[in-house]
Structure 1
Amino acid sequence: MPRIAVTARLSIDEGELVESFARASGAGGQNIQKVETMVQLRFDARNSPSLPEAVRERLLRLAGHRATAAGEVVITAQEHRSQARNREEARARLLELLRAAAAPPPPKRRPTRPTLGSKKRRLEGKTQRGAVKRLRGKPVAD
């Protein structure tokens, strides 16, 4: 079976994708009433042997409402008037989702502490600002 390359190290088997077709809603005239142009692409992420566990978890989290309770990712495409273009659209969206899941999450930010010099500069600036504000007041009578 041909494989779909997600990243340089990750690819999925085309046999893992299940496509079903239905009549799309919306404008299209008589074409819409006769031709099944809507594509529903299903990918069983939970049982896929192609995905490492970390990617599988990120994919199901990123899929959100597109993921079923059984762990399938369902993508529906019906923007175009032809079945072939909707198939390409659905596969492109799945590929985009898989690439986002394959990217490792950025490391957690380690908060840094301010340096002694930056603390001193901040306090000196506050002192100077306070002095300027004091000088704006009424003069003190001797």
Structure 2
Amino acid sequence: MLARMLIITPSLRLPEHELVERFLRADGPGGQHVNRTESAVELRFDVAHSTALPEDLRARLLALHDRRLNLQGVLVLQARRFRDQARNRSDARARLAAWISAALRVPKPRKATRPTRGAVERRLEAKRIGARRKRARGRPDADA
């Protein structure tokens, strides 16, 4: 039997048992039936303890400081955009896949640069001109 998986990329797949779904009653439109239907989905994924994620990707995800990531390293996504549960489930899974895919791209390290001598001189000259202009706005001297 083939285990169900959430496919992020052809080489990265999340096993179904690492995703925890909880169904809630959604707010918003829906008529009388809305108070009895649990159509909203809360998807939890334990980033810190996932066996499917490579170590460098896990570290990048945990360093994101995303408000949906709690202190234990669990990502909590809520999907309540649609009126039916199936569409909210697929929406939550698609958002999880997009979040992980975005972290797959390794950021380029920043190279320290210095301004050119000409740029420094232009900046300082502009500051001198501004200072002269502001000095000229002051009160005229009393002894003149």
What TM-score results when the alignment is normalised by the length of structure 1? Answer: 0.73
Q: Deviations over 1:30-60 (max 9, x none)?
A: 1211110010001011110111222112222
Superposed, 1:1-12 pairs within 5 Å as 1-12=3-14
Q: Secondary structure at the match of 2:33?
A: helix
Per the alignment, residue 78 of structure 1 pairs with 80
- Would the alpha carbon gap of residues 63 and 17 (structure 1) be closer, same or farther in structure 2, given more than 3 Å must change? farther
Tell me, in whole angstroms, the C-alpha distance in 2 between the residues paired with 1:63 and 1:75. Answer: 15
Per the alignment, residue 96 of structure 1 pairs with 98
Which structure has the greater CA radius of gyration? 1
2:29 maps to amino acid? A
Structure 2 residue runs without a partner (length 5+): 126-144
Tell me, in whole angstroms, the C-alpha distance in 2 between the residues paired with 1:5 and 1:86. Answer: 17
Larger relative helix fraction: 1
Q: Deviations over 1:51-108 (max 9, x none)?
A: 1222112222336111111111110001100001100110011001010112111222
Aligned residues: 119
Tell me, in whole angstroms, the C-alpha distance in 2 between the residues paired with 1:71 and 1:110. Answer: 32
> Are 1:23 and 2:25 counterparts?
yes
- Would the alpha carbon gap of residues 28 and 72 (structure 1) be closer, same or farther in structure 2, given more than 3 Å must change? same
Tell me, in whole angstroms, the C-alpha distance in 2 between the residues paired with 1:20 and 1:40. Answer: 5
- Does the 8 Å CA contact 1:16/1:48 hold for their aligned counterparts? yes
2:22 maps to amino acid? S
2:34 maps to amino acid? I
Q: Secondary structure at the match of 2:6?
A: strand
- Does the 8 Å CA contact 1:63/1:97 hold for their aligned counterparts? no
2:15 maps to amino acid? D
Per the alignment, residue 132 of structure 2 pairs with none
**Aligned with 1:14 (options 10, 16, 34):** 16
Tell me, in whole angstroms, the C-alpha distance in 2 between the residues paired with 1:74 and 1:64. Answer: 10
Superposed, 1:1-142 pairs within 5 Å as 1-62=3-64, 64-111=66-113, 114=116
- Does the 8 Å CA contact 1:62/1:97 hold for their aligned counterparts? no
- Does the 8 Å CA contact 2:6/2:93 hold for their aligned counterparts? no
**Identity among equivalent pairs (%):** 40
